[in-house]
Amino acid sequence: MPSTPEYSKNKRLERITRGLCPTCGNNPPKEGRKSCATCLQDQKDKYQRYKEMGLCSRCVINKAGSGKLCESCLLMTKHKRDEFKKVAFEAYGNRCQCCGETEPVFLSIDHVNNDGAEYRRNKAHPRGGALLCGWLIKQGFPKDFQLLCHNCQWGKRMFGVCPHQTKAKTELEPESK
């Protein structure tokens, strides 16, 4: 029986298609989860053993630092997070769509239609940060999202529209006499 990454991926997809746990293929997944209750408990027990042994929960080789991961896995995770953010920001123009701010520290992903709460309620995407950026990459950068600086995003949240937009609109309107 071949054991290649492609074979494993196809096997998991076949199990999911049949409505079974992708890990064991024996039971249906637990409600709201990807794996069955047995596999979830096995995974929980496995990570508990790693924790008791002081091992990193990702590589299971190095001693974990103060958290679950060793120093090298933490660095790799941070690098991956930064890469996801960089790719997502580039796809959305690397600047605030309202005021043009380009400093990445000041930028964040925004829901164009102000429907972020609805997305989160329906669990359509992760809450934010690197997980959201990874989801955006997988989805092909949907047009329902944009980059805004934190100031513009806060203004949009508080007033329904960023104050920059209100100001620009009033400057364009002719004065009434």
Q: Whole-model pTM?
A: 0.63
Residues 91 and 154 in one domain: yes
Helix (H) or strand (E) holding 111: strand 107-111
Residue at 93 is within a domain: yes
Q: Is the pLDDT of residue 152 over 90?
A: yes
| pLDDT given at position 166 | 78
Residues 40 and 90 in one domain: no
| pLDDT given at position 174 | 58
**What band does 114 get if pLDDT is binned at 50, 70 and 90?**
confident
As a whole number of angstroms, the distance between CA 56 and CA 135 comes to 26
Residue at 61 is within a domain: no
Q: Is the pLDDT of residue 89 over 80?
A: yes
Residue at 159 is within a domain: yes
Q: Which residue has the tokens 């996801």?
A: 84
Residues 28 and 83 in one domain: no
DSSP 108: E
Question: Can you give the residue range of the structural domain that contains 151?
Answer: 79-172
Residues 96 and 16 in one domain: no
Q: What would you measure as the largest C-alpha separation in the chain, in angstroms?
A: 84
